[in-house]
A and B are shown apart, each in its own frame.
Chain A
Amino acid sequence: MGKDSKAKVVEALKMKGIDVFGLERELMMMLRRGMTSIEVYEFLKKLIEGEKR
């Protein structure tokens, strides 16, 4: 059930042009390197506005 809903969300994001696995990797890596929450906000905002990916 959980896996199904995750797969559906991943597919829906893919249809909207977002590779969520790549995004998770990138964000986790940047957070590990000390990215601040403001930078996360700006990064995600750009993604949602369609300026990235």
Chain B
Amino acid sequence: MKSIRIILENIGVFRDRREYILSTGLNIIYAPNASGKTSLINGLKVLMLPSLTTEEIAKALNDYEEKGRVKLVIDDSEFSVDLIRMPDGTVRAQGRRFTEDSLIERVAFIDLGSDLVAAILAGNHDLVKSILREVTGVSHVETILDTLTRLKSEYEYSFQARRKEYESKREVYVEQRQRLTERLENIRKRIVEILQAPQLEPARKKMEELESKRNTLLEIQRRLREQKLEITNRIGLLKRDHDLNKSELDIHKREREKIVKELDELRRAGPDMRRALEILLKEVENLQTERENIISEIREKERMLERRKEVIDYAVCPYCGAPIEEDRIRSEIYELEEDLEKLRSELKKIINAIEEKRMEINEIREKAERRLKELEEELKKIDERIVNIERVLDTVDGKIKQENKRLAKIEDEIKDLDKELNVVNVQLEVLRSEVPINLIEEYRYLTNEEQKLYEELDSINAKLRQLDELYNELRVLEDKLERVRLLQEYFQIRLNELTRATVERINEVILKHMKLLKLAELEYPVLVEDFTLTLTRAGGTPTTLAELSDAEKAIFTILMTLVLKEYVAGEFPFYVVDTLMEFIDDTRAAEVLKYLMEAAGNDKVIIVTKTRPFTGEPRLLSQEDILVNTIPSALTQPSR
């Protein structure tokens, strides 16, 4: 960085345009109270901190002005933020900032508003610990872990509930199946006994043949029923897919309609917007003409004023030789100066008005173009989604059609089998008339029961197969749970690694700044593994933050923020300390400043404010108040 210029317009105590030059190395803003030290720092904050609160932004703008600007020019690069007071009294900041890293605020802008400074000054160990964890990123891993713990308990609950449902249902169905199978076996045994009874001898052979045929037909029919059930289930699932896709398609179509409507409205509004823009542009043009007129009037009046000032001390006019009437010329000078002041104030108003109109024009253009682009992109995405869903719907509908065909075929086959079974049953009835009535009645009852039990068994088997789907869901849930468990394990390992490594690294960096630690009258090390501060006085006596003096706390704050900055934003070239030096006695302040001068080297810009005692009238900050790599002599002279 060869040159750094900061330009402030209506910022803080400044009600005009101010320009200051900063340099690499240590810049001590050494000026009296209320001269604008903090205003300059607030200007820098507006330019560099993306996460300023609305109050902080409002604080940066001069209370009596409607708008202001901060500009930072570093070599050929320019960064500028405009502050505009809105009708509701809030102040809006817009423009190009030097950085968008939100951590910068906590490690590179050290003032009484900083949370770390407040925690150290208040002697709050727990708060300091939690801020250190946040700034170093360790608390982010804790957030991830907390989230994973929550997710794990949700998945575990859902998994256990489903498993319980699966296991209890399965137990009931398996038991029912066993009971039915036992009953079926007993019935079959009795049927065989009846068929083997001697009273059946004349018709036995034929009956056995028909019975076997009947059993075969029943078996085929059972298999077909199973197939029918499977197909019905599949059709049900496909219909669910169809409905889901259909409703999604409807939602997208409705969204599409809305977008198309908004696009149409926006395009229809085009001519109106153009007309509004034309009006605004015309207004700007008029204002510019007015500005040019006022500028030439000012120039003319300035020339007249200059001439009068030139001739006032002469007895006769050096141009025309006429005698000089001093009183008249003095009154003319007074009038001209008044006119000039009025004209300049008018010019300022016109310039502001031009800028406001230009901003309005840009806002209208940007807003409309941005929205148009957003809508067109959204429309493109929705169209793609609609095409995809329609494709999926076609596939699903095709499958439903195929499955329905298969279902119809199976139903026909079952009907045919029913017919065949009826024929066999009639034949069996005829044969039964030739044998004793009691056996036949029992046989008839048993075969009926057998058929009923088969049907019940089919239904239980189908339920067990449906349970397989629940089992699959259970396995999917188990897989998700395993993912959460693994992620939790990984981030727990990372938390331990990161905490250890960060504390070690921070202690290493603190070691590099031992001089500051000594100035705070503390000994190394400062942090233990879980970020707890362990402070020890020179000599080995343990102490706490609350027991440190204000000067020690201030030096310790500078040390910790320097260390943190080096750890999280080492490349960021600025480091700013506002107000804090006031807590440190002059001797140690001089030592701290010397240390910061060395730390800044040739590539960093360290800015420190320090109050200069009043000498003379109150005044605003000037370039001479910014001392570069020079410690104010008032601090280094002990006699002071």
Segment among B257-265, B342-350, B482-490 that sits at the interface with chain A: B482-490
Q: Which residues of A have CB within 8 Å of B148?
A: 44
- The bracket for how many chain A residues form the interface is 20 to 34
Do the beta carbons of A9 and B490 come within 8 Å of each other? Answer: yes
Q: Which residues of A have CB within 8 Å of B486?
A: 9, 12-13, 16, 18
Segment among B136-144, B204-212, B242-250, B451-459 that sits at the interface with chain A: B136-144
CA gap between A37 and B143 in the complex, in Å: 7
Q: A24: shortest Cβ distance to chain B, in Å?
A: 7
Q: A8: shortest Cβ distance to chain B, in Å?
A: 9
The reply on B479 being an interface residue by CB < 8 A is yes
Do the beta carbons of A16 and B483 come within 8 Å of each other? Answer: yes
Do the beta carbons of B103 and A37 come within 8 Å of each other? Answer: no
Do the beta carbons of B480 and A31 come within 8 Å of each other? Answer: no
Q: Chain B interface mostly helix, strand, loop or mixed?
A: helix
The reply on B405 being an interface residue by CB < 8 A is no
CA gap between A23 and B537 in the complex, in Å: 43
Q: Which residues of A have CB within 8 Å of B150?
A: 41
Q: Which residues of B have CB within 8 Å of A48?
A: 151, 155, 480, 483-484, 487
Do the beta carbons of A10 and B140 come within 8 Å of each other? Answer: no
The reply on B38 being an interface residue by CB < 8 A is no
Q: Which residues of B have CB within 8 Å of A41?
A: 147, 150-151
Q: Which residues of B have CB within 8 Å of A6?
A: 490, 493
Q: Which residues of B have CB within 8 Å of A5?
A: 489, 493
Q: A36: shortest Cβ distance to chain B, in Å?
A: 9
Do the beta carbons of A20 and B51 come within 8 Å of each other? Answer: no
Do the beta carbons of B484 and A32 come within 8 Å of each other? Answer: no
The reply on B92 being an interface residue by CB < 8 A is no
A29-53 interface bits toward B, Cβ cutoff 8 Å, 1 = contact, 0 = none: 0011110010011001101110000
Q: B152: shortest Cβ distance to chain A, in Å?
A: 10
Do the beta carbons of B147 and A32 come within 8 Å of each other? Answer: no
Question: Contact partner of B147 among A12, A28, A34, A44, CB < 8 A?
Answer: A44
Question: Contact partner of B490 among A20, A28, A31, CB < 8 A?
Answer: A20
- Chain B positions within 8 Å of A, measured between CB atoms, are 51, 101-103, 137, 140-141, 143-144, 146-148, 150-151, 155, 479-480, 482-484, 486-487, 489-491, 493-494, 496-497
Besides A9-B489, A13-B487, A48-B483, 19 other A-B contacts (C-beta < 8 A): A5-B489, A6-B493, A13-B483, A16-B479, A16-B483, A16-B486, A18-B483, A18-B486, A20-B487, A28-B140, A31-B140, A31-B143, A32-B101, A37-B146, A44-B147, A47-B483, A48-B155, A48-B480, A48-B487
The 5 closest A-B pairs by CB, nearest first: A31-B140, A9-B490, A40-B147, A6-B493, A41-B147
